[in-house]
Amino acid sequence: MFKKILIANRGEIAVRIIKTCKRMGISTLAVYSNADLFTCHTIIADETVCLGNPLSGKSYLSHEKIIKAAKDNDCDAIHPGYGFLSESEQFARAVMDAGLVFIGPSPSAISLLGDKIASKKIAEKAGMPTVPGYLDPIISENEALAKAEKIGYPVILKPAAGGGGKGMHIVDCSDELPSALAQSRQEALKAFGDDTILIERYIPGPRHIEIQIMADNFGNVIYLGERECSIQRRYQKIIEEAPSMAVGSSLRKQMGKAACDLALQAGYTNAGTVEFMLDQDGKFYFLEMNTRLQVEHPVTEMITGLDLVELQLQISAGMHLDITQDQVSLNGWSMEARICAEDSSHAFIPSTGIVTRYAEPRGKNVRVDSGFKAGSRISIYYDSLMAKVIAWGENREDARQTLVDALNGYHIEGFLTNIDFANSILNHPLFISGELSTDFISDNMESLLNHADPSSYQFHYMILAAALIHHNRRNLEIESLKPMVSNIGGKKKQIRQIDYMVKTGSEILPVSLDRGDNANLWTITVAGKQYEVETPEFEFYRRRIKLLINGRYHRFRLQNQGSFIWATFCGMARTIEIYSLQEWDLLKYMPNPVRYKPNNELECPMPGMVVDILTKKGDKVYRGQKLLVLESMKMETGVASPCDGKVADVMVKTGQAVETGDLLIKFAI
């Protein structure tokens, strides 16, 4: 077994690999850029080497720097994690040429299966069903139009190299094809250094199912069940689970055998994932193979009891697989939510900043893979993925509820995250019933962002939690944890019930708090419905609370914001205003505030780097016209003009780093 390995990655996957290495007694060397100085992988590794410049091409993608660090520090092997260099044939070969072990498949297997065109040919040779399309790359626009007509619209354009949804475009008609092809090529060249594009039929509403395989160097290949990865945005997964509701034992065997046959046909070794589309009739098609460990591998670990990184290390060290297919068993259900630094309500644009508060969920059957802590910086240079929360249960509903509760208690401050959006998916009726497809988010976006039925128990629970915090805050100075009294007629009389009016958005609800003889027991009425609540001995300023409501524990995140309370529960995030009945009566006499925002300026909508400026001083522009392109977290975003007018001045230049709210362009209207 190896004595020391270098982890050529960052964030949560680097931490996850280091943990397995520590358990196995293997020393670790972590690498980091200047932007990752205070991230977790640099703290828990045995040794570290700084790669300098935060730009990926000059740090985490630098073959020379990484291999030199490994050689200089007496490493035996390099683990690439996923992303960055994990699917680079050139890097794998350079590692081997340097006398080190690349923990992954051979360079030839990466080349063969990492190319969508070549892998599709191998799949067909192995007898695997594939999506109708063309295996030859598109040469010209006219050829693309001709091929699309033969295949039939809609079609999808896909880069032959790389993955992660970058460069993929769905085309519904011939008029859209030329611009989509040009954009696909541009994005593929930037992301993968290769603008080769293939075209195939787009299958509407499919499920995304993938099979995890493990293959050693002695011809042994096994599959470890399937993962359901249909919940995606921009072709990137958010929620994953194992197994899939759509896959029974017979279909699992078919897909598993097909995946193993593909690996054998290609001479594949180490961990790999064969991805399939499952159409609405239950027929599966080969999609691609990822020649690396997947982000979502923990859900497979949770139901198999296997450590996939440990298996990778054993295989790369020349050992036989110590488990056969007959010994693979699937136990229970697991779900994972990816936690990303992004604004889900605004097209998932990246969010950056310093982690000012950080508290992970804990508990039985909950696992958190994270690469960040309080004080870590989320920068514009890398992917938005911060962490993953994984839950296990005896069945799907048990796993779902465990994950929901974990996300309710996951507290991150300093920037926006998708924690509540992920939780809203888990609480959506269609997700609960298992009606999934890759179109799930796009089809249900409005309800995912605004699911706030005023009569639902989730909505009421959030209101009562906020009301309790508000009540304790207001009564801190008058012995808030004791029954309040009033001197009436010279006698003290207990006042048990306090009435409030609660406003959140357009909803207005009456709330009554009735304290029992025990200061921690309450009967709370929200919009006429009663709930029995037991509170812990908590400080009212705390950001997370756990309440026993009607016999079951629930977690909430709350923040005092002036006279308001911001509360989240089960994916709902609301600013809540709480008024006494006297305050509510006075409120109707208060004038509504009038806000004015000038439209002759273009402000930066997100942190990033200006990579292209599409206008200049003196140009006439129209509202909605794309004027600049920003890059943040490996994603390019066009910024449109807010008005019709003339460009008075461009305030930024290409290559400049910008923050949210920075002035980009001034207009003369």
Is 108 inside any structural domain?
no
pLDDT at 485: 45
Domain CATH for 45? 3.40.50.20
pLDDT at 581 over 90: no
Residue 274 confidence class, pLDDT cut points 50, 70, 90:
very high
pLDDT at 481 over 50: no
Domain CATH for 580? 3.30.700.30
Do 382 and 359 sit in the same domain of this protein?
yes
Domain CATH for 177? 3.30.1490.20
Q: For 110-124, 246-260, 468-482, 556-570, which range has the lowest pLDDT when averaged over its residues?
A: 468-482
Residue 477 confidence class, pLDDT cut points 50, 70, 90:
very low
Helices 396-408 and 419-426 cross at an angle (nearest 10°) of 150
Last residue of a domain, one of 308, 331, 354: 331
Residue 91 confidence class, pLDDT cut points 50, 70, 90:
very high
Residue 596 confidence class, pLDDT cut points 50, 70, 90:
low
pLDDT at 539 over 70: no
Residue 593 confidence class, pLDDT cut points 50, 70, 90:
low
Q: For 122-131, 286-295, 490-499, which range has the lowest pLDDT when averaged over its residues?
A: 490-499
Domain CATH for 238? 3.30.470.20
Do 365 and 381 sit in the same domain of this protein?
yes
Is 138 inside any structural domain?
yes
pLDDT at 170: 92
Do 152 and 226 sit in the same domain of this protein?
no
383 CB-side CA count, 13 A:
21
Last residue of a domain, one of 148, 170, 201: 201
Which residue's entry shows tokens 């609800």?
509
Q: For 71-80, 112-121, 567-576, which range has the lowest pLDDT when averaged over its residues?
A: 112-121
Determine the Cα–Cα distance for residues 496 and 382; give it in Å rounded to an integer: 54
Residue 404 confidence class, pLDDT cut points 50, 70, 90:
very high
Cα angle 391, 315, 75; round to 5: 95
The highest-confidence range among 58-72, 190-204, 519-533, by mean pLDDT, is 58-72
Mean pLDDT of 287-302: 96
Determine the Cα–Cα distance for residues 456 and 452; give it in Å rounded to an integer: 8
Is 416 inside any structural domain?
yes
| Owning domain of residue 230 | 115-125+208-331
Do 195 and 248 sit in the same domain of this protein?
no
pLDDT at 114: 83
Q: For 27-31, 366-370, 459-463, which range has the lowest pLDDT when averaged over its residues?
A: 459-463
Do 534 and 446 sit in the same domain of this protein?
no
| pLDDT above 70 coverage of the chain, percent | 93
pLDDT at 541: 58
Do 119 and 242 sit in the same domain of this protein?
yes
pLDDT at 607 over 50: yes
pLDDT at 590: 66
Residue 188 confidence class, pLDDT cut points 50, 70, 90:
confident
Do 175 and 255 sit in the same domain of this protein?
no
Report the relative pairing of strands 657-658 and 635-640 from DSSP bridges: unpaired
Do 463 and 534 sit in the same domain of this protein?
yes
Is 197 inside any structural domain?
yes
pLDDT at 337: 98
Helices 308-316 and 297-304 cross at an angle (nearest 10°) of 100
Is 110 inside any structural domain?
no
Do 251 and 306 sit in the same domain of this protein?
yes
Is 240 inside any structural domain?
yes
pLDDT at 486 over 50: no
Annotate 269-289 with DSSP letters as a single string.
-EEEEEEEEE-TTS-EEEEEE
pLDDT at 627: 94
Residue 538 confidence class, pLDDT cut points 50, 70, 90:
low
Report the relative pairing of strands 221-233 and 207-215 from DSSP bridges: antiparallel
In angstroms, what CA-CA distances link 491 with 87, 100, 487?
79, 86, 6
pLDDT at 426 over 70: yes
Report the number of distinct structural domains present in the chain.
Answer: 6
Nearest to 202 by CA among 238, 156, 162: 156
pLDDT at 369: 97
Q: For 50-59, 259-268, 463-472, which range has the lowest pLDDT when averaged over its residues?
A: 463-472
Is 380 inside any structural domain?
yes
Do 427 and 372 sit in the same domain of this protein?
yes
Do 326 and 336 sit in the same domain of this protein?
no
Annotate 492-527 with DSSP letters as a single string.
EEEE-EEEEEEEETTEEEEEEEEE-SSTTEEEEEET
Q: Which amino acids are annotated catalytic?
A: 288
Beta-ladder partners of 213 = 223, 272
Mean pLDDT of 74-86: 96
Q: Cβ distance 389 to 405 under 8 Å?
A: no
Is 593 inside any structural domain?
no
* Mean pLDDT, the chain, whole residue set: 90
Last residue of a domain, one of 150, 173, 201: 201
Instruction: State the pTM of this model.
Output: 0.87
Do 55 and 185 sit in the same domain of this protein?
no
